[in-house]
Amino acid sequence: MFTYIDPTIRQRLTAQGTLFQIDRDGVRIDPEMSPAHGATISILGPIPLPLQLFDTQVDVEWYACVRNTELGKIEELADDLRAENAQQSFATLASFMAVNSVLVIGDPKTWNNPLVRVHSCCMTGDVFGSGRCECGPQMRTALQRIQADEQGGLLIYMSGHEGRGIGLWAKAATYLLQDAGENTYQANRSLGLPDDSRDFSDAAVLLKFFADGKPFLLLTNNPKKVDDLGALGLGNITRVKHVTGVTDSNRGYLTAKQDWGHKLDAEDIGSE
Ligand SMILES: [Zn+2]
């Protein structure tokens, strides 16, 4: 049942503490406060999720997170649809809402320098297992590294970050341009799109809440990600190299990323 379809469900989940809001500083908002002042992100969870990762089962706590401005708009439209008895259109509404996920492994109370991965959604790599990029192996290996760490940590899955923020449709076009000889960044420019249009502000708010101001280790080869999160108020980040899933199919793509500024060494990429 969608919380925006039936307001009584929202009240019930709020009373249970499994639907809550955080402000832009990552501070949980008192549900008694009405209207919730400064609420930025609504979160549903924790929801136990048993993940089959390589050959082991990893138990994670899943939190579904949505920006309040987006949710508010959807709720408003849902009210209109309800008034017109047009509930069959709810599905169309819901598909426009970007829901990010946080996967927590271990007990956040015991963390002092947890492992963190902020992972950008990649339908072709994460879901289909495409070897054109290394996203799928990076996501699974990140979860494996977090699981293997004695403290654990978290993975934030940014659903709006498909194709470095340009979306799946434009990404499909860039693949066709790449097959005609352009690299991953040139293809974006040919479409009049930025090299990287990802917005990390929601990730920053979620990290403030889940890491609770503690320093953390960020699994990434991209120093810009550290800079972006730093500019959003997260100072204590140590970058940890995260190279995996390099194949003949994505070596050219990784070389383009290296030229663009990703911290990859020649031996990380290898040669055909
Ligand atoms: Zn990818």
pLDDT beyond 90 at 64:
yes
Residue 33 vs residue 151, higher pLDDT:
151
pLDDT score for 144? 96
What's the per-residue H, E or C state across 26-84?
A: CCECCCCCCCCCCEEEEEEEEEEEEEEECCEEEEEEEEEEEEHHHHHHHHHHHHHHHHC
Give distance in angstroms: CA of 5 to centre of ligand 1: 34
The percent of residues in the chain predicted with pLDDT above 90, rounded, is 73
DSSP 250: T
pLDDT tens for each residue of 124-171 = 999 999 999 999 999 999 999 999 999 999 999 999 999 999 999 999
Report whether 4 contacts 71 (CB < 8 A).
yes
User: Of the ranges 5-14, 226-235, 260-269, which one carries the lowest mean pLDDT score?
Assistant: 5-14
Exactly one of 23, 126, 196, 228 is catalytic; name it. Answer: 196
- For residue 66, which of 92, 95, 43 has the smallest C-alpha distance? 43
- For residue 163, which of 142, 192, 184, 147 has the smallest C-alpha distance? 184
Q: Is 196 one of the annotated active-site residues of the chain?
A: yes
Joined tokens for residue 45: 């969870």
Give distance in angstroms: CA of 127 to centre of ligand 1: 10
pLDDT score for 34? 60
pLDDT-derived band of residue 2, with 50, 70 and 90 as boundaries?
low
What's the mean per-residue pLDDT of the chain?
91
* Cα gap 206→257, rounded to integer Å: 26
Residue 27 vs residue 79, higher pLDDT:
27
Q: Strand, helix or coil at 134?
A: coil
How is the beta sheet containing 216-219 ordered, strand by strand? 19-23, 39-53, 56-67, 99-105, 153-158, 115-120, 216-219, 237-240
pLDDT beyond 90 at 3:
no
Joined tokens for residue 60: 């994670």
pLDDT score for 1? 41
Q: Is 251 one of the annotated active-site residues of the chain?
A: no
pLDDT score for 35? 61
Q: pTM for the whole thing?
A: 0.90
Give distance in angstroms: CA of 265 to centre of ligand 1: 20
Exactly one of 23, 117, 198, 202 is catalytic; name it. Answer: 198
Torsion, CA 105, CA 68, CA 228, CA 216, rounded to 10: -20
Q: Strand, helix or coil at 251?
A: helix
pLDDT score for 203? 97
pLDDT beyond 70 at 4:
no
Residue 43 vs residue 75, higher pLDDT:
43
* Cα gap 180→177, rounded to integer Å: 5
pLDDT-derived band of residue 19, with 50, 70 and 90 as boundaries?
very high
Give the length of the chain: 272
Joined tokens for residue 145: 């590294």
Give distance in angstroms: CA of 125 to centre of ligand 1: 5
Rounded to a whole number of angstroms, the CA Rg of the chain reads 20
